[in-house]
């Protein structure tokens, strides 16, 4: 038997004002994206803003459905939209935020496992890292340089594409 360890490097910021201007703008666009959230059941709005290589920003918001689990998270809404409309686009970075009227969110909300799996597939397909900012409104921000650091055991099977 051999014990293995993972080390995940990430940056933390105590305020949006500590981020560089471009990252601040991306976080604020993620806030804007929540305006189109359809979340009447959970009352938990999620928004994402994705910066493409051509500097276009694509927004996504969570879309719930009364027939759980037929809804879709904000990250996958945006990523699948990019895949459908701009299949050759390169994603440079993403900002993700959340808000609810039910309680105050005091820590950054991170992506679910299904979203992380989709994010890792996009990162692998484009063969370059995607930087991710998890933005807690009026709170801390977490920043990772690559999705791979968030899901070290992602399902990746190269033989399936052969």
**Which residues are catalytic, by number?**
75
Give buried/exposed letters for 16-45 (b at 16+ CB in 10 A, else e): beebeeebbbbbbbbbebbeebebeeeebb
For the beta carbon of residue 145, count every other beta carbon within 10 angstroms: 14
Give buried/exposed letters for 70-101 (b at 16+ CB in 10 A, else e): ebbbbbbbbbeebeeeeeebbbbbbbbbbbee
């Amino acid at each position: 038997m051999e014990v293995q360890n993972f080390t995940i490097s990430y940056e933390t910021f105590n305020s949006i004002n500590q981020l560089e201007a471009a990252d601040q703008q991306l976080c604020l666009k993620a806030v804007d994206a929540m305006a189109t959230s359809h979340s009447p059941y959970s009352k938990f709005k999620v928004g994402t803003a994705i910066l493409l290589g051509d500097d276009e920003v694509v927004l996504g918001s969570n879309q719930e459905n009364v027939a759980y689990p037929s809804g879709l998270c904000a990250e996958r809404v945006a990523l699948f939209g990019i895949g459908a409309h701009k299949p050759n686009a390169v994603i440079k970075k993403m900002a993700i935020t959340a808000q609810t009227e039910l309680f105050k969110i005091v820590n950054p909300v991170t992506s679910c496992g299904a979203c992380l799996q989709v994010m890792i597939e996009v990162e692998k397909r484009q063969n370059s890292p995607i930087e991710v900012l998890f933005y807690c409104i009026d709170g801390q921000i977490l920043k990772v340089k690559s999705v791979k650091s968030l899901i070290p055991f992602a399902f990746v099977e190269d033989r399936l594409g052969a």
